[in-house]
Amino acid sequence: MTTYIVRRILMAIPLLFLITIISFAMMQMAPGDPTALMMDPMIKKENLEAYKEANGLNDNVMVQYFRWLGNMVQGDFGYSLIRQGVPVSELLLARLPNTLLLMGVSSVIAFLISIPLGVISATKRNSLTDYSITFVSFLGIATPNFWIGLMLIMFTSVHMGWFPTGGVSTLGSPFSLWDRLHHLILPAFVLATADMAGLTRYSRSSMLEVLRQDYIRTAKANGFKNKTVIFKHGLRNGLIPIITILGLMLPSFIGGSVIVESIFAWPGIGLLFIDGAFQRDYPVIMAVVVIAATLVVIGNLLADVLYAIFDPRIEY
């Protein structure tokens, strides 16, 4: 198994290389000259050329790529074009905890709601309950989650005043856990909705697969209570494929965070990215894209490794 994990990690390296190449190529396509934003427009032509020469902007594209890659591996993502003099890594570090908190709470919410629904759906197969859950999941897959967010803000925050409309905490008030949670509930829920429908469908089919097995019939024949059979014998095995979904959910969480953070003005990586996109702050855009793609690769890696650990039937 160790060899499998090592091999799997080694396979991810060329992928990460390709990701950085694609990101770099996209930035090369960006119109305009980076110096145009940084320099006084009245600057003399020779001085501008000298600056470009000194900072390696006239170098070969390949040289520039490897310099960028080398710096990035050491945690240097360059400087923001808009907030001049601020390193991108500093911006990222300031925002990352908020995004991770949001994603963590969201995945807990998604699991807590979806898995029980999937299990109920599977055990009461073809009943009215099953059909209702399936129908709601269908609706959930087709509903844009920014619309759910908008509706929730409008009805629960603006009209009813139950939740704040955005931000991480009440401005100017001292830190309180309740206040933070209060701000967290809506965005975390909206982010969770992106995956809830799929996760419910997935746990339903996984559970159905398990309930069809011989050992479930044996357990029932041995006279175990239905509850024991479903939760002790069934769910434990049904959860194995669901665990791997955790890794595969990461991409949609990261993508969803852009939308959710911009609806709720949640100061995370997603909002940093959107602001960067509006201001054409290319170093920021670049850094977030590479980090997001890397997280996705890590997520897939994690899914495969977890599967290998939790399912002893699979040999490598």
Q: Which of 242, 296 has the CB closer to other proteins?
A: 296
- Least distance to other proteins, CB of residue 177, Å: 28
- Least distance to other proteins, CB of residue 250, Å: 9
Q: Which of 14, 223 has the CB closer to other proteins?
A: 14
Q: Which of 206, 300 has the CB closer to other proteins?
A: 300
- Least distance to other proteins, CB of residue 196, Å: 16
- Least distance to other proteins, CB of residue 293, Å: 5
Residue 79 is given by DSSP the state B
Sign of the C-alpha dihedral, residues 111, 117, 120, 125?
negative
**Enclosing H/E stretch for 116:** helix 88-123
**150 and 193 Cβ atoms separated by less than 8 Å:** no
Residue 224 is given by DSSP the state -
Q: Which of 242, 288 has the CB closer to other proteins?
A: 288
- Least distance to other proteins, CB of residue 162, Å: 14
Is 306 buried (19+), middle (13-18) or exposed (0-12) by CB count in 10 A? middle
Number of neighbours of residue 68 by Cβ within 10 angstroms: 21
Binding site for other proteins (CB under 8 A): 14-15, 18-19, 22, 26-27, 29-31, 138-139, 141-144, 146-147, 150-151, 153-155, 158-159, 251-252, 254-256, 258-259, 262-263, 273-274, 277-278, 280, 285, 288-289, 292-293, 296-297, 300
Residues 6+ away with beta carbon under 8 Å from 297: 12, 15, 16, 19
Q: Which of 147, 215 has the CB closer to other proteins?
A: 147
Quote the tokens at residue 280.
Answer: 């054409």
